[in-house]
Amino acid sequence: MLKGLGGFGDMAKMMQSAKDMQDKMQKMQEDLEAIKVTGESGAGLVKATATAKGELTALEIDPSIFVASEKEVVEDLILAAIKDAQRRAQDRSQQEMSRITQELGLPADMKLPF
């Protein structure tokens, strides 16, 4: 591209690579907002849905567990479902990061963003 300019050609290539990586990271962040994961507890009696970024978007509770004397059990099931959704969101986010690092030819264990 910039032959005859010595190190400037390498610099231009490096700058383009940095721009490409920035664009891919931005796209990945947008994708993480669109990816939904669902955590559950109590054999599916409580389900929590979150984005792959970890933002809780929905909570579904089977009405059969609403018994006044079981209030603490219900609370525990809700917390467990939310924690499961958050764990799944984190796992999915890490999978997407790994995919991006591979596409960029970076080491798999490289932490992005820097």
pLDDT of residue 52: 92
Distance, CA of 89 to CA of 38 (rounded, Å) = 8
First to last CA, the chain: 28
**Domains (range + CATH), the chain:** 18-103 (3.30.1310.10)
CA dihedral 59, 60, 63, 67 (to 10 degrees): -40
Q: What is the mean pLDDT, run by run of 10 residues, along the chain of 114 residues? A: 58 81 85 93 96 94 92 95 96 88 73 56
Long-range residue pairs from 61-68, CB within 8 A, at least 24 positions apart, any chain:
none
Strands ordered across the beta sheet of 46-51: 36-41, 46-51, 56-61
In 10 A of CB 72, how many CB atoms?
8
